[in-house]
Amino acid sequence: MEAFGLLLHGFAVLLTWKTLALMMVGLVLGIFVGVLPGLGGPNGVAILLPLTFTMDPTSAIVMLSCIYWGALFGGAITSILFNIPGEAWSVATTFDGYPMAQQGRAAEALTAAFTSSFIGSLVAVLLITFLAPMISSFALKFGPPEFFAVYLLTFCSFVGLGREAKHKTVISMSLGLLLAGIGMDTVSGNLRMTFGSSELLRGINFLVAVIGLFGISEILLTMEERLALRGHAASISLRVVLSVWKDLPKYWVTLLRSSFIGCWLGITPGGAIAASFMGYNLAKRFSKDPESFGKGRIEGVFAPETAAHASGTAALLPMLALGIPGSGTAAILLGGLMVWGLNPGPLLFVEHKDFVWGLIASMYLGNVVGLVLVLTTVPIFASILRVPFAAVAPMIVVSCAIGAYAIQNAMFDIWLMLGFGVVGYVFKKIGIPLAPFTLALVLGNRAEDAFRLSMIGAGGDLKVFWSNGLVGSITTLAIVLLFWPVIDGLLARVGLTRTPRPRRSN
Amino acid sequence: MKAVGVAAVLSLSAPALAGWEPTKPVEIVVAAGAGGASDQMARMMQAAIQKNNLMKQPIVVSLKGGASGAEALMYMKSSEGDPNKVLIAYSLIYMLPLSAKIPFNWRELTPVSVIALDQFVLWDNSAGPKTVKEFVAAAKAASAPFKMGGTGSKREDHVLTVFLEQKTGAKFSYLPYKSGGEAATQLVGNHTESNVNNPSENLEVWRAGQVRPLCVFDKERISYTSKVTETQSWADIPTCKEEGVDVQYLMLRAMFLPGKVTAEQQAFYVELFHKVTQTAEYKDYMEKQALKPIFLTGKDMVQFLEEDDAVNKALMTEAGFVAK
């Protein structure tokens, strides 16, 4: 109950006209940066950070975190309308969101995305409010073997639960792992696969690859098919919002499951990206009709968005309590905190109560205000699809190029993006799924480092992955998921599951 | 001696100031990830410059920590003649070209000033051994690998670990993490037995009583005597030499411009960073993070760099980290 009192105090700190105005400004700015692919949360916050130097810490962090919320909401817009994920964790949102937009259900998909973002963050904020001290000690339990087990779980759930043919998933994942190896190897301190090029030193940036693989390749496909963006019939009215909300209770299991996964992986530093994929895969696994996923099912938007935002929000907890940023944006916020003389760490919650609870209260307010703001503008965003393809396509390509360039201010990245566009096009043509590729690209390095650190620490003994209850159960779960189709088949044969699934030929 | 050098440069630079100042936003290039010691320092300088109006143009921090910081070095190298980029450098300017054969030489950049020296401290978990002697004994007696966490491979933390092994005869398994912050939390979570973090990287977990400083790798104790934890100040940490382990290492924090900038441009930044070292923000930061304040520029700086380069090269060679 102490937490509740402190939270009320936090609201009291916030409820001034000045702070509320800053909040609105932050949200609007955030939505704008979020809509530009690649610019996204981290860059938006970084660019606007110096603006806040003259403010007091609480106002400053409120404004910055509202930019962050705005960017998160904005990122969903491009994922759904143009198949271009703005942030790593929006990738899974495109799987069903984009098909929905193509079927003229853009407004419905957007409403679903915004609503589930709101629910996910809300659950995570509640968690932060009441369980902060307990959770930060849980995060400390994660050493290299535990981290590796989590990454393994993500990879395995992809292979075991994926809709695509297993061998194609593995091919795609292996290619991603290969590309993730480019650049400096932290463990040995040597360069790998850079072939003397200084452009390749920093490795392949994940966002550059994603913008090319999803955005550019989609433009290529659409051009080939001579189709306009199929959004003409989009019915756009606020009634859509209400009808989506009316159906919301039907999906409570999915929402709850995704929130849980999101919170769990979010407080594991670096787990936020894995969450959206896992949320999506599990929703599909437990669905009565898994075949309809990927073809424009609204549940396929609810699941990853809820998980992504729960984890994005929960990621702020390790940042505040331990000083480890769980995401790129959290890292920039961390830099901001230090400028104001606030050192994130175990004592922040004790020594700077006003600030911490002001921030937590701003998560509640920012979320509510943000939801209202984006929902009222859904019709405007959805109507972008009415613009002829010939006019929109060049704008998308330009904004992709700006986004790719802005990440590291490198011209080379624009060529890389175009290259990945072609790769994405070819992959789509020959039916190799893109998601495992991007997942491997973003988690490959971390998984490798975690594995090698575990091996150094254990003297090369693989038993370390079963050395305690936590790591043991995650590793075992990973292996079960990897062989799930086989296990599922065996269970069906001995009559343990009620409805034996027909084997899919693919 | 040093003070005279500074004064001389300042008097020379004063008339030149009227000649040049930045016309575009200035970028502080950080060769490390977000939240690390270099980033914190860059943000401190950004705030000091903006709050005290030391420059008309805005200043931005740009993180180029890719490839263990090599990205920043190559970026500076390729920005020849651009006076709107300043690198905040540390020992990687000597070590990275040796260990990873990066085609980079700090002599191709324009030195501006050395602004601080950073300490290294041997830390263990607060539940671990209480003195260096007990610590070494525990490391020698351990049957499983005795784990030392640090930032990156074949860099300052790794070098210190190798020398610690040489002087004590104990054996460590060195775990290279991506940042000092990660090394700190891994020590708190008992996933490693020790680390050799900079004071700033372990400060918060020390204040929370989760880690214990065993000794500082310098020839004298840290000078700051105000209490950091309830009972201890930085000055209370013994030197490793006092504890019978004679290993010393200090790391520079220095500012560089790209190559081929004009003397007026160089002079502007010498003056700018000299002013920064006079601000309350800088002084406060030095004390809080237990850094040694220093200001070297001109000939003094180059001489310092040459000597420091030789020391680092010798250490790297002895540790066997120089790529063939």
Residue recorded with tokens 């700077």? A352
pLDDT tens-digit map of B55-111: 999 888 888 888 888 989 999 999 999 999 999 999 999 999 999 888 999 999 999
**Per-domain boundaries in chain B:** 2-118+250-319, 121-236
Helix (H) or strand (E) holding A231: none
Q: Pick B58's closest partner by Cβ from A50, A324, A458.
A: A50
Residues of A within 8 A of B155 (CB-CB) are 189
**Phi/psi at A203 (5° precision):** 80, 180
Residue A398, class by beta-carbon neighbours within 10 Å (0-12 exposed, 13-18 middle, 19+ buried)?
exposed
Query: Which one-letter DSSP state was computed for residue B28?
Result: E
Residues of A within 8 A of B64 (CB-CB) are 202, 408
Residue B27 pLDDT > 80: yes
Taking CA–CA distances from B282, the nearest residue in chain A reads A339
- Distance separating alpha carbons of residues B110 and B118, to the nearest angstrom: 22
Quick one: which of A105, A113, A111 has its CA closest to A258?
Answer: A113
Residue A253 pLDDT > 80: yes
CB contact burial B260-271 (16+ within 10 A = b; e otherwise): ebeebbbbbbbb
Residues of B within 8 A of A455 (CB-CB) are none
Q: Which fold has domain B2-118+250-319?
A: D-Maltodextrin-Binding Protein; domain 2 (3.40.190)
Cβ–Cβ below 8 Å for B39 and A335: yes
- Distance separating alpha carbons of residues A452 and A38, to the nearest angstrom: 31
Residue B53, class by beta-carbon neighbours within 10 Å (0-12 exposed, 13-18 middle, 19+ buried)?
exposed
Q: Pick A201's closest partner by Cβ from B67, B147, B191.
A: B67
DSSP per position, A184-213: E-TTT--EES-TT-SSSTT---HHHHHIII
pLDDT at position A392, please? Answer: 75
**Three-class DSSP category at B175:** strand
Quick one: which of A268, A307, A256 has its CA closest to A151?
Answer: A268
What's chain A's average pLDDT? 80
Cβ–Cβ below 8 Å for B205 and A458: no
Contact A393, A223 (CB under 8 A): yes
Residues of B within 8 A of A328 (CB-CB) are 34
Cβ–Cβ below 8 Å for B204 and A344: yes
Taking CA–CA distances from A406, the nearest residue in chain B reads B62
pLDDT tens-digit map of A170-179: 999 999 999 9
- Distance separating alpha carbons of residues B29 and B254, to the nearest angstrom: 12
A323: confidence class by pLDDT, cuts 50, 70, 90? low
pLDDT tens-digit map of A393-426: 888 788 788 878 877 778 899 999 999 999 999 9
Per-residue CA distances from A105 to A225, A232, A385, A413, B184 (Å): 21, 10, 11, 34, 49
pLDDT at position B160, please? Answer: 96
Cβ–Cβ below 8 Å for B175 and A190: no
A505: confidence class by pLDDT, cuts 50, 70, 90? very low
Average pLDDT, stretch B283-291? 93
pLDDT at position A329, please? Answer: 67
* Number of alpha carbons in the 13 Å side-chain half-sphere of residue A320: 24
**Per-domain boundaries in chain A:** 2-140+149-460
Q: Pick B50's closest partner by Cβ from A53, A203, A408.
A: A53
Residue B10 pLDDT > 60: no
pLDDT tens-digit map of A340-396: 767 777 777 777 777 888 888 888 888 888 888 888 877 777 676 677 777 778 887
Cβ–Cβ below 8 Å for B74 and A143: no
- Distance separating alpha carbons of residues B278 and A464, to the nearest angstrom: 52
Cβ–Cβ below 8 Å for B99 and A188: no
Contact B123, B195 (CB under 8 A): yes
Mutate to test the interface with A, among B51, B76, B102, B191 (most CBs of A within 10 A): B191
Query: Which one-letter DSSP state was computed for residue A103?
Result: T
Average pLDDT, stretch B291-307? 96
- Any idea which of A195-204, B141-150, B296-305 has the lowest mean pLDDT? A195-204
Q: Pick B35's closest partner by Cβ from A187, A335, A453.
A: A335
Q: Which CATH code of 3.40.50.2300, 3.40.190.10, 1.10.3720.10, 3.40.1410.10 fits the domain covering B121-236? A: 3.40.190.10
Q: Pick A346's closest partner by Cβ from B67, B175, B204.
A: B204
Write the CB contacts of B287 (distance below 8 Å, at least 6 apart in sequence): B224, B226
Helix (H) or strand (E) holding A389: helix A389-408
Residues of B within 8 A of A335 (CB-CB) are 34-35, 39-40, 43, 61
Mutate to test the interface with B, among A49, A147, A184 (most CBs of B within 10 A): A184
- Distance separating alpha carbons of residues B137 and A275, to the nearest angstrom: 44
Contact A317, A135 (CB under 8 A): yes
Cβ–Cβ below 8 Å for B67 and A335: no
Mutate to test the interface with A, among B40, B60, B158, B175 (most CBs of A within 10 A): B175
- Distance separating alpha carbons of residues A138 and A119, to the nearest angstrom: 23
Residue A271 pLDDT > 70: no
pLDDT tens-digit map of A73-123: 877 888 888 887 766 677 888 889 888 888 888 888 888 999 998 999 899
Residue B212 β-bridge partners: B124
pTM score, whole prediction: 0.81
Q: Pick A459's closest partner by Cβ from B51, B62, B145.
A: B145
Nearest-Cα distance to chain A for B12, in Å, is 32
Q: Pick B100's closest partner by Cβ from A184, A344, A459.
A: A184
- Distance separating alpha carbons of residues A35 and A108, to the nearest angstrom: 18
